[in-house]
Amino acid sequence: MKERLKLNAQEERVSELRHERAQIQDILEAEPLPSDEEAANARFAAIDEKLARLETQLEESEAAMPLHERIKEIFKENGVTLTDVRNMVSFDRFPAFITEI
């Protein structure tokens, strides 16, 4: 659970930085001034550096998660529930404890 909270915080920060980058890009496209472009390029470089670092940390954190947690995340992301899995498999091939989950 603690790992998931850390991942959520990292994902949120990545999302914020991408949003900030998009806002700067929109401002540049609306009013392209040479002085603004130089400042924006410097800000883009800083944001891109932070994004790269955060995305690397996020990948490392996800890789460090226990396998069952990663599987639960995959199911959750794709909207698959345990009931869906049970409905898809043939219970006569599996031990009885699976039907009790």
Question: Is this model's pTM higher than 0.75 or not?
Answer: no
Same domain, residue pair 76 and 96: yes
Q: Is 16 helix (H, G, I), strand (E, B) or coil?
A: helix
Say if residue 71 is in the same domain as residue 57.
no
Specify whether 60 is located in the same domain as 83. no
Is residue 59 domain-shared with residue 73, that is, in the same domain?
no
The token pair at 16 is 């914020």
Judgement on whether residues 59 and 19 belong to the same structural domain of the protein:
yes
Are 10 and 23 in the same domain? yes
Say if residue 71 is in the same domain as residue 59: no
Give me the DSSP letters along 57-79.
HHHHHHHHS-HHHHHHHHHHHTT
Q: What are the pLDDT tens digits along the chain (101 aa)?
A: 677 777 788 889 989 999 998 988 888 788 777 777 788 888 888 999 999 999 998 888 888 888 888 888 888 888 888 777 777 776 555 555 555 55
In the structure encoding, which two tokens stand for residue 73, read together? 């995340």
**CA dist., res. 68 & res. 4, Å (int):** 13
Please report the pLDDT score of residue 52 as a whole number.
Answer: 92
Kindly state whether residues 2 and 46 are assigned to the same domain: yes
Structurally, the chain folds into a number of domains equal to 2
Residue 68's region, left for phi above 0, alpha for psi from -120 to 50, else beta, is alpha
62 Cβ contact partners less than 8 Å away, ≥ 6 residues apart: 7, 70
For residues 42 and 75, state if they share a domain. Answer: no
In which domain, by residue range, is 40 found? 1-65
**Are 38 and 58 found together in one domain?**
yes
